[in-house]
């Protein structure tokens, strides 16, 4: 309908050409010119518009495919996240169950250990009572080995030996060996040797005497500084060379 109206308007405004063969004053039949003036130009315009619309359609189709791909990728990511969350939840539940079982088992073991320790404490208490009774009895009552060992343990006492004026580590080692060779010494160990001072820790069955150290070294004289049952402090002094008087 619209095209029909356009054709009618074009026909009404089309120019009328006069036939030159008709003389003036005669009636001539005029035929309006209905042929389009530029059909090729209109076709090119329409083709250009069609191409533009096709390009826009292709762009929108590509953009729609991109959106669909993003939606599918996001859906896959959500699915994987849900799976990971379910797996993590299951792993946490399993870890909690395992921890509960371990806690129950450890609690049972601790209860058994506490029971064993209680029994061991009773046994130690009974043994301590027996040892106390044995140590309280004279060693000659049974004549056994335990009585002799108990008497020996009971008589050993710690003593600290401090010696000043020790000239070298070699002399300190020689002095330690000398103390270990004394008959009443059960054990001796060197605590330190600094600045010519030797400190020994010994366990003795009888008190040490200063006179026992007089035979250790002929080149040095031993002087007593402190002599107690738990401490023996000595000082080594070099002996002066003897000089003879020549008479006339």
Domain CATH code at residue 196: 3.30.70
Q: Which two tokens stand for residue 115?
A: 């029971």
The Cα 15–Cα 18 span in angstroms is 10
What does the pLDDT read at residue 53?
Answer: 92
Do 125 and 167 lie in one domain? The reply is no
pLDDT in tens, the chain (248 residues): 445 444 544 444 445 455 555 555 555 555 455 555 567 788 889 989 999 999 999 999 988 999 999 999 899 999 999 998 888 989 998 998 898 888 888 888 888 898 888 888 888 888 888 787 777 754 444 444 444 444 444 578 899 999 998 888 888 898 889 888 888 898 899 888 988 899 999 999 888 888 888 877 767 788 888 888 888 898 888 877 655 444 43
Q: What range defines the domain where residue 188 resides? A: 156-238
Let me know if residue 216 belongs to a domain. yes
Does the residue 214 lie in any domain?
yes
Could you tell me which residues are beta bridge partners of residue 162?
A: 199, 233
Nearest Cα neighbor of 210 from 201, 221, 218, 199 is: 221
In angstroms, how far apart are the furthest CA atoms of the chain? 202
- Residues 115 and 165 placed together within one structural domain of the fold: no
Task: Give yes or no: residues 113 and 212 share one domain.
Answer: no
Domain boundary among 94, 120, 155: 155
| pLDDT at site 162 | 92
Q: Are residues 163 and 202 in the same domain?
A: yes
16 domain-assigned:
no
Q: The pTM is what? A: 0.37
Phi, psi of 107 (to 5 degrees): -60, -45
Q: Are residues 132 and 195 in the same domain?
A: no
Round to whole Å and give the CA distance between 52 and 46.
10
For 161-217, give the DSSP string.
Answer: EEEE----HHHHHHHHHHHHTSTTEEEEEEEEEETTEEEEEEEESS---GGGGTTS-
pLDDT (0 to 100) of residue 137? 52
Q: Are residues 135 and 207 in the same domain?
A: no
- The residue among 155, 185, 200 that closes a domain is 155
In the three-class reduction of DSSP (H, G, I as helix; E, B as strand; rest coil), residue 94 is classed as helix
List for the chain the helix, strand, coil content (%; round to 5).
55, 15, 30
Half-sphere exposure of 101 (CA within 13 A, CB side): 5
The domain boundary residue, chosen from 155, 186, 221:
155
Distance CA(218)–CA(237), nearest Å, equals 11
């Amino acid at each position: 309908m619209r095209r029909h109206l356009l054709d009618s308007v074009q026909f009404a405004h089309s120019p009328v050409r006069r036939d030159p063969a008709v003389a003036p004053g005669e009636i001539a039949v005029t035929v309006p010119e209905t042929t389009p003036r530029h059909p090729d130009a209109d076709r090119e315009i329409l083709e250009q518009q069609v191409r533009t619309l096709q390009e826009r359609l292709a762009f929108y189709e590509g953009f729609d495919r991109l959106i669909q791909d993003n939606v599918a990728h996001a859906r896959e990511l959500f699915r994987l996240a849900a799976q990971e969350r379910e797996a993590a939840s299951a792993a946490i539940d399993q870890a909690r169950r395992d921890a509960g079982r371990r806690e129950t088992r450890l609690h049972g073991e601790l209860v058994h250990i506490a029971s064993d320790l209680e029994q061991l404490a009773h046994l130690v208490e009974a043994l301590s009572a027996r040892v106390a009774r044995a140590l309280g009895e004279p060693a000659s009552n049974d004549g056994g080995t335990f009585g002799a060992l108990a008497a020996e343990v009971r008589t050993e006492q710690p003593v600290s030996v401090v010696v000043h004026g020790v000239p070298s580590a070699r002399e300190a080692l020689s002095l330690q060996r000398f103390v270990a060779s004394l008959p009443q010494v059960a054990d001796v160990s060197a605590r330190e040797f600094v600045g010519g001072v030797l400190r020994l820790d010994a366990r003795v069955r009888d008190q040490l005497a200063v006179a026992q150290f007089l035979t250790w070294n002929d080149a040095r004289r031993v002087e007593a500084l402190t002599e107690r049952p738990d401490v023996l402090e000595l000082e080594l002094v070099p002996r002066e060379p003897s000089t003879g008087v020549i008479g006339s």
